[in-house]
Structures are given as structure tokens and as C-alpha cells.
Structure 1
Amino acid sequence: MSEDRRLHVLQAIVKDYVETREPVGSRVLVERHALDVSPATIRNDMAALEEQGYIAQPHTSAGRIPTDKGYRLFVDQIDTVKPLSPAERRAIQNLLEDAVDLDDVVDRTVRLLAQLTHQVAVVQYPSLSRTALRHLELVPLSPHRLLVVIITDAGRVEQRTVETAAEVDQAVVAELRARLNVVCAGRRVEALTQPLADLAAEFAPAHRPLVEAVAAELLQTLRQETQERIVMAGTANLARSDVDFPRTIGPVLEALEEQVVLLRLFAEMEEDPIAVRIGSENHHEGLTEASIVASAYGARPPGIARLGVLGPTRMDYPGAIGAVRAVARYLSRILGG
């Protein structure tokens, strides 16, 4: 029974500290949370929690605050996340459904997530290496120029032009378009090299230069556009949380500027549908006082990319987890449509 009560005490300390930013004392816990025991009993529980490393006393005569270990136990014991309100759910749906293209979707998503959580929002852009091709379109622009339109299953659109020595034959273009879609639809970049190399042999020798040129342009585009990148919003929210970074907020901002840091953290979270990394768990010096909540998005497991929020360890974890999960689901639905 005492272990259950100590867990409740820890949960109460986390909730109060997240809300007030003030160390929490035993008498306040009894008054706010109806624990049905005396302050002396709570003090004993707090002493045990402190000895186990779940809470700490920032200075003499102060109450207690959670440690990274305490936040971890709190997060691991969350059985229900904070649901979004009907108004918030409608706002997500309406905002994302009105987007005109993938760039607009990503931009709207990252701004929305920052507004919902009041943290720094991060969305990993779906690179072509993580997506499959949905459709290829060939559009003759002139007798010697052809537009190649690449559409991925994430809604990403790339356009390239191909110059041809011979005059573009409309019938050949139509046949090539059909065969390219048979070969490429549903496949990822790494699975396309050989099928595209073999495609020219299916055409008459006079038309093979056009087929080879289109295939070469397609492969070059896919290889060039595989670089991972992220989009961020809400960095100003960190400035309002500067008291949550006892040393300085500078290292956190520097880590955010190095996209490779966040991309590496996202990669480490790929096995978890909803991942939470707290303080020192981030294995980066600049983020030892920060927490990250992230989720995959995309119709196919394990997703085509990730999104999440970053903020101080004194974070509303149930709220952040609920918002990240909901936005990821809506985004997956939009891109899957």
C-alpha cells in the first residue's frame, strides 16, 4: 500500500510542479490532493522518494521537485493521455484539410502543434528515400522538351524537364508514361534502379534515348532529394520557459539549430509509436534539461517520418502526448488520402 501511495505522491508532485513551477511541500500535497494521510506520513513518503532518486530538494527548507528519474516513472505510469477538446480536434481537421500541397501541410502542422502544446514543434519532412512513388506524369512542353512530374504517396511533388535530341513522339510518351507507372508505383527509391535500367530494352531502338533520358532524370532527382530535413515552429516558447533551464537556454537553442541532432534523436525513437525522451536520456549535452515527445506519421508502419515537441523537463506530458498523437493521426489521414 505504501508503494502505491508513494507513486500517487510522486504523481501529485509532478502535476503541481508542472503547474506552479514551485517546489512542492508535504502540507500542500495533503491539502490539494486529498491523500487522507497526515503531512508527517507524506514527509516520510517524500523522504523515501528522494532516497530513491525520484525527487530532489533544490535548496534547504524548500519543497521537492521531480528529477529526470521521477519524470520517467511518471510518464511510464501514464494510463490515459489528456484528450483534445472537440474545438481543438475540429481546428486540426479544418486547418490540415485546407492545405494546398505538402509544403503547406507541413507548415500548418508544425505551427498547429506549437500552438496546441506551447512548446517547440518539430516536423520531419518526408524525404523521397522514405516514401514510395504514387504516380509519374509526362507532359510534352515542346517538340524537344518533356516535363517529368513525380508524385509520392506522401503527397510530395517534384518536377523536372528533359531535353531530347529527337522530336517528342506523343504515342511513345503515352506508352512510356504507362510503363513507368507500372514499374514505379508503390516502390521506394532503392527498388527502382534496376527496373528503370531495364525499361529501355522494351522500346524500339529509335525511342530508347528518350526512355533512358527520362529514367536517368528520375533516378537523379530521387537521389538528390533524399536528404533529411526538419521544420520547426514555436522557438519563442522556450524563451518563456527560461526559468526551466537553470544553466542557460543557449545550449538548447544551439542544439535546435543543428538539425542533425534532432534527426538523430528521431532516428533513435523509430521503434516507439509514441516516444518520450527526458533530460539526460537525450544523450546530447545541450538537451540534458529538455524533453522530447515524438510520434511517427504516415499510413504505412513504421511511418514515413516523425513529428514531435521539445520543451523543458517540466512539461505537461499527458497533454503533449495527447496532442502529438492526435496531430500525427490527422496528418497520416491527410497524406494517406
Structure 2
Amino acid sequence: MSSTTEARRKEVLRAIVSDFIASQAPVGSKALLERHQLGVSSATIRNDMAVLEEAGLIAQPHSSSGRVPTQAGYRQFVDNIEDVKPLSRAERAAIISFLEEGVDLEDILRRSVRLLAQLTKQAAVVALPNLEVSRVRHCEVVALSPVRLLLVLITDNGRVDQRNVELDALIDVEQVHHLREVLNNALVGKTMVQASVELTSLMEQAPPDIARHVLKCATTLMHTLVEQPSDRLIIAGASNLTRVTQDFLQGLPGIIEAMEEQVVVLKLLSNLPELGNVSVVIGEEHEEDRLRSSSVVATAYGSARPLGGMAVVGPTFMDYPGTISKVSAVARYVGDIVAGE
């Protein structure tokens, strides 16, 4: 087979996938010639479609109908995407403006998942940063009263946790400063696991003048570090999946059920490509049976290193170029904000 024939058949497949995504109706040779400048006769197109069908890339639902892509066809289509759809200037401006209004990383991620669901009209999910890779950037200590403190623990990925501490003795301004210094000397630059170990040691070796306050604060901080789940997920737009074709709706209960199980989604977001790249898992490629009527477009977000993953879940006939573009853009802007750019 000549390279010209092979290139044309890839173009025919691309046209069939694109038209089916747009209409969810079988695509015939006549429609292909009318909508796409393929530069060959209808007989040649019919022959190309027969070859693509024999290769398992398209199928004919009924003897008198046009063709629809198979999951193998979608995979070849995705693998041959060279240029994803560029976002419009308005879309880029809206994304940046909406995300920059976030008050901390968790708020930014909640905004990003809602935004992805709105932009793609599909379901979106994001995993909050794993505490195991987070490091303490600063621990602020604020005296709310002589017997009450506010502790603000800030990590290097922008996560902020606040806790009130009720003291069993009065604390003065100098002691607040000393307490802040002692806590930061012990915690800054440490991972969450290391920070817990440091706090245990600090409770045993605290300066005498603030020992009782250190004990209260360290106990509260350890609960914050240990009890905060490192695998929290945020899901948005699941209702969008009810607005697609009847064939997809048959598998929808299982998809929704799978998305509500953290272990399934976390596994989905555990094998992500490097920052800046996007992975696409289509239909039967899923290990989880309940997701096999769906496709998932996923990527990592972060700045210098990946902090977590985000993904869009939709039918196998999703708009792959558009979805890839939007997932990639939102993740990139989240990374820029985390990096302070």
C-alpha cells in the first residue's frame, strides 16, 4: 500500500470519527464527500471504508447504514492527533480570571474542576495534593486571646490548614513569638511524615517557658497532619453525563458508581504522564469494568513537580481534541498559579 493511500485512509478515519462525534449518527460515504475535501471518487471512499472496517477501525451497525468508529478506531484517531484545538482568547481569559480568584490551592482546584465540567460538558475530577509529597512552608501562630491561638499551617503546594488551640495557661506576646520560632524551626522544609516525627520530639524537648503551649500546639498539628486525608477527590459535572445518547446511558449507573469510589478514581489518576502531557484511556482499555463505556482524559498539575491529577470522564465519542486542549490548559494555568507566575 502506498503512503498516499495510507494517508488518505487515515484522513477518512479522522473524518468519520469527527462526524460521528458531532452527530452520533452513522456516517456514509456520500456525507464524507460532501463535508470533506478528500479529492477522490465515491467508489474510492467506499473501498477505503471497507478496508477500515476489515481492520476493525469502523463498523456498520446495520446493513443499510453508514459506519461508526470502533474503540480501536478512536484509539488510532487519538494517537494521530497532531494539533489539539486551540482555546479562544475569551476562553483563556475566562480560565485565568476564574482560577486567579481562588483564595488557596484547594479553592483553585475546586474552581478548576467546576470549570472543566462546564467547558467540556462532561464530568471532571481532581485529586488534591498528596500530603506525602508536601512540605511545610510556614506555621503561623496568632494569639486570638490570652488562652486561645490560631495555628495556620501552609505547605509548599499552597495548601492551608487552620486550627484553633485552647490553652490551659495564659500566653503573652513574647511567648507567642518564641512559640512561632520553635515550631517553624522544627517544621519548615519537612514532609508531613517528617513533621509528625519532629513534633513528637519537640513535645519531649520543648523550652521550659512554653512547654505547656508547645504540647497543646504539637498535639493539634499532629492531628491535622495525620487525620487530613491525603486522597481527597473533588468531582463536578456528573449530571452532564445524563445528557448524552441512550446507548451511553445504559452504562451510566456503573460509571457514576465507579467515580464515587475513591480507590477507583485514585487508581485512575495514579499513572499520569509527565507534567505538560495528557493521557487518554478509551473504553475497553480501562481495568475497571464499570468504566468501559467511557473515555478518560487525564493529566498532572503542578509547577516544579506533579502535585496531583485531574481528569475529564465522558463517552467514547467525546470531542477528543477539544477535551485534551481544555484539560491541558486548565492544568497548566493551575501550575502557573501554584508557581506564582
TM-score by length of 2: 0.90
**Deviation digits for residues 257-310 of structure 1, max 9, x if unmatched?**
323322221113355731111111122222111111111112232x21111211
Moved more, 318-327 or 144-153: 144-153
Moved more, 131-140 or 247-256: 247-256
**Deviation digits for residues 10-32 of structure 1, max 9, x if unmatched?**
11111111111111122222232
Is the 1:127–1:225 Cα contact (8 Å) retained in structure 2? no
CA distance in 1, matches of 2:67, 2:133: 45
Query: What's the CA shift for 1:152?
Result: 2.2
Counterpart position of 1:304: 307
CA distance in 2, matches of 1:186, 1:91: 35
Counterpart position of 2:137: 134
The percentage of aligned residue pairs carrying the same residue is 49
Query: What's the CA shift for 1:244?
Result: 4.7
Q: Counterpart amino acid of 2:164? A: T
Counterpart position of 1:109: 112
CA distance in 1, matches of 2:204, 2:59: 71
Indicate yes or no: 2:293 matched with 1:284: no
Please point out which of 58, 61, 65 is paired with 1:58: 61
Please point out which of 294, 303, 316 is paired with 1:313: 316
Query: What's the CA shift for 1:85?
Result: 0.2
Counterpart position of 1:322: 325
Q: Counterpart amino acid of 1:31? A: E
Please point out which of 123, 126, 130 is paired with 1:123: 126
Counterpart position of 1:3: 6
DSSP 3-state at the match of 2:161? strand
Is the 1:124–1:305 Cα contact (8 Å) retained in structure 2? yes
Is the 1:294–1:306 Cα contact (8 Å) retained in structure 2? yes
Is the 1:244–1:312 Cα contact (8 Å) retained in structure 2? no
Query: What's the CA shift for 1:137?
Result: 0.7
CA distance in 2, matches of 1:289, 1:207: 60
Unaligned 5+ residue runs, structure 1? none
Is the 2:251–2:293 Cα contact (8 Å) retained in structure 1? no
Counterpart position of 2:92: 89
Moved more, 129-138 or 166-175: 166-175
Alignment of 1:127-206 (within 5 A): 127-199=130-202, 203-206=206-209
Query: What's the CA shift for 1:206?
Result: 4.5
CA distance in 1, matches of 2:204, 2:261: 46
CA distance in 2, matches of 1:329, 1:182: 33
**Deviation digits for residues 223-281 of structure 1, max 9, x if unmatched?**
11134122222222211113351734222222223233222211133557311111111
Aligned length: 336
DSSP 3-state at the match of 1:267? coil
**Deviation digits for residues 35-78 of structure 1, max 9, x if unmatched?**
12222222222222222221111222221111111111111111
CA distance in 2, matches of 1:331, 1:275: 18
CA distance in 2, matches of 1:120, 1:148: 36
CA distance in 2, matches of 1:150, 1:244: 48
CA distance in 2, matches of 1:47, 1:187: 61
Distance 1:163 1:195, change over 3 A: same
DSSP 3-state at the match of 2:132? coil
Distance 1:4 1:122, change over 3 A: same
Distance 1:248 1:201, change over 3 A: closer
CA distance in 2, matches of 1:219, 1:300: 27
Query: What's the CA shift for 1:336?
Result: 2.8
Moved more, 308-317 or 145-154: 145-154
Distance 1:116 1:213, change over 3 A: same
DSSP 3-state at the match of 1:129? helix
Moved more, 114-123 or 78-87: 114-123
Counterpart position of 2:50: 47
